[in-house]
Amino acid sequence: MIETIPLPSANLRDIAVLLDIDGTILDIAPTPGAVIVPQSLRQTLTRLSRETGGALALVSGRSLGDIDLLFAPLRLPAIGGHGAEIRLSPDEITESEHAHVLDGKLRERLAEIAVDAPGVLVEDKGYSLAVHYRLAPEQESRVKEAVAAIKADWPKEPIEVLPGKSVVEIKPASFHKGAAIRELMQHKPFAGRQPIFVGDDITDESGFAVMPEFKGMGFSVGRRAPGTAHCFAAPSDVRRWLERLSGGDGTRPL
């Protein structure tokens, strides 16, 4: 049974629903390409988008292209690349004016971390790189030390290192999810609404931080993050809650 969770408003046309993907609405998989999007989730998101008047957006470190491949044929407003890409409507793509890619030599050094390290995977997301060690947890210290050493070799490069669940992500510091959410909330149908942002790790904390600006609420998954009003135990709980929120089971969790 899903507990009752208070929302900023009982009217879905007064709120905006913003959802991180991996670890939030999708279960973490051994590799990024192995995640599974349940058909029931596509149906829930379609229904929730309709009920909110289109004020439903995905907020992810994945690129917009990757997001669309995962959720096809569903296409939603979205923030990709941790804020490097913003799509205000299903038919539009806008890149952040602050977004730039990592230095080429820096990317090459980061990619070398996976050489002679079985189970370590370097994922190039375009505006960021993620070094995964879920398949080789014994490599955690080596990966983190290597990333720290590489960062130290580029003292003038504004790099942000974000540890996650068996992953270390490296991206330019000039953009983040919080700034992108702030931009998204200036445009219809999001403008004037109170947002709910659901996320699961450190990369989502900048999103939680901007919720008070819009009298919104942050919900975390797996751990109680700073600035959040509720914590879901697992993505499966988030999916069930979204189904109820959309009215898919004939109830609303208010």
For residue 79, being part of any structural domain is answered with: yes
pLDDT higher than 50, residue 254 = no
Mean pLDDT across 79-103 = 78
| φ and ψ at residue 253, rounded to 5 degrees | -85, 50
129 and 28 within one domain: no
125 and 63 within one domain: no
For residue 253, being part of any structural domain is answered with: no
Per-residue pLDDT of 50-65, as tens digits, reads 999 999 999 999 989 9
Q: Where in the sequence is the domain holding 166, given as residue range(s)?
A: 104-172
User: What's the confidence (pLDDT) of residue 1?
Assistant: 39
4 or 182, higher pLDDT:
182
| φ and ψ at residue 14, rounded to 5 degrees | -105, -5
Helix (H, G, I), strand (E, B) or coil at 133: coil
Contact between 59 and 207 under an 8 Å Cβ cutoff? The reply is yes
Per-residue pLDDT of 6-21, as tens digits, reads 788 779 999 999 999 9
Last residue of a domain, one of 119, 138, 172: 172
Most confident of 94-108, 137-151, 239-253: 137-151
To the question of pTM greater than 0.85 for the whole model, the response is yes
> What residues are annotated to the active site?
20
Question: What is the CATH classification number for the domain harbouring 166?
Answer: 3.90.1070
139 or 173, higher pLDDT:
139
